[in-house]
Structure 1
Amino acid sequence: MTTVSEPLRAQATRRVAGRRRSRRRLTRRTVSGVLLTLAALLVAAFAVFPFYWMVITALKPSSEIFTRTPLWWPHHATFSQFRSALVGQGMGRYFLNTLIVAGCTVVLSTIAAGLAALAVSRLRFRFRTSVLVLVLVVQMVPLEALVIPLFIMMNQAGLYNTLASLVIAYITFALPFAIWMLKGFYDAIPTELEDAAMVDGCTRVGAYWRILVPLVAPGLVATSIFAFIEAWNEFLLALTFLQDDSKFTLPIALNAFIGVEGQTQWGPLMAASAVFTLPVLVFFILVQKRLAGGLVQGAVKT
């Protein structure tokens, strides 16, 4: 009996020890998950809080904005700040100007970057590496060092005080990043896919449109987001190139709410800023699925 019960007791002891180890591992996983969740919530709250404070400030009347004790929620919510910003300041015209500039920048830079990245990825020509390096060097030059040369060029070309000058300038700054990103997408696509499409009767343009474009769609979306945000938020070049009030973009219009000697219209400024931020959020929500998609996913869909 002793020889039989001892192995059974040892087996039971191992089972109990295994269960305890499993419980400890489960406890550690639970604690780690809770800590990671708390850390993620803290980072999210830190990122969202400025936008939250901007929105509730826009909803507050002036009497609640200028208080010694901060109000975390408006007691008497009102849309008067939005009416003052959008109607009284003519923000609709500025919004349209910004939308035109950003839209043209996205479309033209995406087309140009897609073709340029295809050329440096597929073609083998002289000074190919030098061209790529020069494209990267352009990205390293600070914007402040280029304002005066660009102003002189636009003035001599007769483009001063036009929205076209902003579109051209924004495209030049968006192209280096877009070309380098899209080149990586093109390099990962086998050339046999294009050859097979042309064997089946596609032209080179048809193969590019039917085969390559769906595969590099995540890269095109990423570069379009970059170009859109850059064109939508840019202030220095817009302030330098534009003189006529009717051609101002939203960043310049927001600057009009900041007065001298601290006389800033905080309510209308926050309301206009909330409206100014909304198109970027909507644009990102619309394209986030494409942005999150990978190259393999695009190939499977095709």
Structure 2
Amino acid sequence: MRETAPPPAPTAVPVADVVRDLEARFAVAGIPDPRVDAELLVGHVLQLSRGGVQAAAIRGDRMPPSAAAELLPLADRRCAREPLQHLTGVAPFRSLELAVGPGVFVPRPETEMVAQLAINALGAVASESPIAVDLGTGSGAIALAMATEVPHARVFAAENSVDAFIWTKENVARIGAENVTLAFVDLAEAFPELNGKVSVVASNPPYVPDDAIPRDPEVRLYDPPAALYGGPDGLDAVRHLSRVGLRLGHPGATLVIEHGEWQGAAIRDLLTADGWRAAATHPDLTSRDRATTAVHP
């Protein structure tokens, strides 16, 4: 009986070739930054930073067959437009790395400047232990940025989605910020013990109008609807935030709200009508209006 030769063992492929082929697949799938995503996903499998992947490609390093086998289903899922952060399990935010996945809004780079506005306001408070509140904290991004970058502050974070709250708890534990107090509570009822004591109230609320379906599949199909849609004009949550901010804040406190690029004027008018002073809208790094601040009367 003639023996059958065993199949050839898989060969290691150059990292540069893997990245190039993956970039091409991602470009065909319509992914906005295919090279970036290719390098990050390869880095996830190889446990390297993006820079480490670039260095490995330049050196001519090869990807082990086991890593290539792990990469393949992840690449298929990314081509189906599942968020990269769901595949890697983490999302970078300022100096932090946050755990994310199904059920929680993935923090975006543009929210980093919103956090910066809150951090600036909090750091300017003449108090040994200023208080800040993040309403609808989601992954905890803004709250944890304030807590780690203004470590003498006390930061309170509220979330009312069970699915998101699981991720919030994980990130508070992951970062180990002992100056964060987390509560599972509706926005309107959050932290009555802090009434009139808060220096900064920050939020990235749902602000997409109900009939404005997001263009990107990553947002439309994977971000939780409760974190996206804010009523017919997208401002239902902002109206609540204005009232809650007036309850929580002391005179001179700062309110920081993220919003869509076309909503600045409407939000300034809303806040001014409620009694807030000095409402101002701020652009992000792409020059799109991204956040509005106001001062407690």
TM-score (norm 1): 0.20
Q: Answer 1 or 2: which has greater helix percent.
A: 1
Greater RCO (Cα-Cα under 8 Å, separation 6 or more): 1
Q: Which structure has the bigger radius of gyration?
A: 1
TM-score (norm 2): 0.20
